Amino acid sequence: MSPGIVESHVEEAALAWLTELGYATANGIDIGPDGGSPERASHGDVLLVGRLRDAIARLNPALSPETRAEVLAKVLHADTPSLVEENRRLHRYLIEGVPVEVRRSDGSIGGEQARLIDFDNVEANDWLAVNQFTVIEGWRFKELRVALAKEPRLEQTLGGLADADVMARIGAEGVHPEGRFLPETYSFVRGQKDIDVLKRAYRAMQTQLAKRWAERDPQLPLGSADEMLILASIVEKETGQAAERPRIAGVFVRRLKLPMMLQTDPTVIYGIGDSFNGNLTRKHLETDTPYNTYTRFGLPPTPIALPGDAALLAVAKPAEGDALYFVAKGNGEHAFSATLAEHNRAVREYQLR
């Protein structure tokens, strides 16, 4: 089979794959950076896509096709314009034989071919190897930042920045960061930055929150998706038991409807801040802060943690029932009660024995 025929098959497969991913348009293939002007892909661009796809598959055989697609999409549709530009030079090298000049971080030009693919020794292409970073349900934003800062395979760009400055850099100026990043595992390749992961987690939460808000029970006493996010963060911190999340959400929803104070310990702890030593006292419960739901009606002003999708879904569709109280049993589960008398008995049984 001639090289031309081989290339036509690769190009055809790559074009079909790009169409499936949504990169193909009536005007060609858009591979520009996010937020920038799309670039029309040439024959060489599409052919390179096929070669890149095959190289990623060979280098990461255990990954699902969806994850490999995510990696290649990130390479092509990078947040960093310089990465797109390097790939444009790579296109020219592979297709036209034009020498590649790589611009170093200090602005000088060198002959290094840092991102070139060695198709004869695919293991040498470590920049295409897939790494993963997991955002954990229930983390606070400060815990997410600490974990990101400890990831050596990400280029660190956020050290020393205030939270407000970080949010401005991801395009969310003025937004409180707590709760705004979806707990999930995110794939990345060498050379990507900490802010790239944050941007993806932020967009993922926006997407999932909008989806769950659209699916919500119409009788929810919540005025906005942001209020759903706040309540979901409380549900996330109250239980690690998947089956209990809708029941706990139901308790809080019924309390909001009455209205009745939420009286949930995790909000009080969040309001105490870094001075909390792990021992929640009666004085803490009686000391008013914007987050003390024992002294204030309604929701706290912001989320208190990163809620997972299961917590969002629990709030969108809380369990029906009449319970207004719950208390920890000591084994990770809770006892639910409809009246204060029942609740007090449960407290004596599980907390005061």
Number of residues assigned to the chain:
353
Final residue before a domain boundary, out of 156, 176, 210: 210
pLDDT band at 226 (very low <50, low <70, confident <90, very high): very high
Query: Which of 78, 311, 22, 72 shows the shortest CA–CA distance to 199?
Result: 78
Domain assignment of residue 164, given as a range:
131-210
Q: In which residue are the tokens 């030079």 written?
A: 89
Interval 162-176 mean pLDDT: 95
Q: Specify the higher pLDDT residue, 204 or 35.
A: 204
Of 333 and 29, more confident = 333
Q: Is 55 in the same domain as 180?
A: no
Cβ atoms of 125 and 59 closer than 8 Å: yes
Q: Is the pTM above the cut of 0.85?
A: no
Are residues 221 and 342 located together in one domain of the fold? yes
Domain boundary among 190, 210, 230: 210
Q: Above 70 in pLDDT, residue 16?
A: no
Average pLDDT of 220-248?
96
- Element at 185 (helix H, strand E): strand 185-189
Same domain, 251 and 335: yes
Residues 44, 107 within the same domain: yes
Residues 154 and 185 in one domain: yes
What do you get for the CA distance between the two ends of the chain, in Å? Answer: 80
Q: Where are the alpha helices (DSSP H) in 22-156?
A: 43-59, 65-76, 81-96, 141-149
Nearest partner of 86 among 189, 202, 235, 236, judged by Cα = 189
Judge if 59 and 109 occupy the same domain.
yes
Do both 104 and 188 map to the same domain? Answer: no
107 & 145 share domain = no
Question: Is residue 230 domain-shared with residue 346, that is, in the same domain?
Answer: yes
Do 84 and 185 sit in the same domain of this protein? no
Interatomic CA distance for residues 195 and 212, integer angstroms = 26
Residue 50 has pLDDT above 80, yes or no: no
Based on the structure, what is the number of domains in the chain?
3
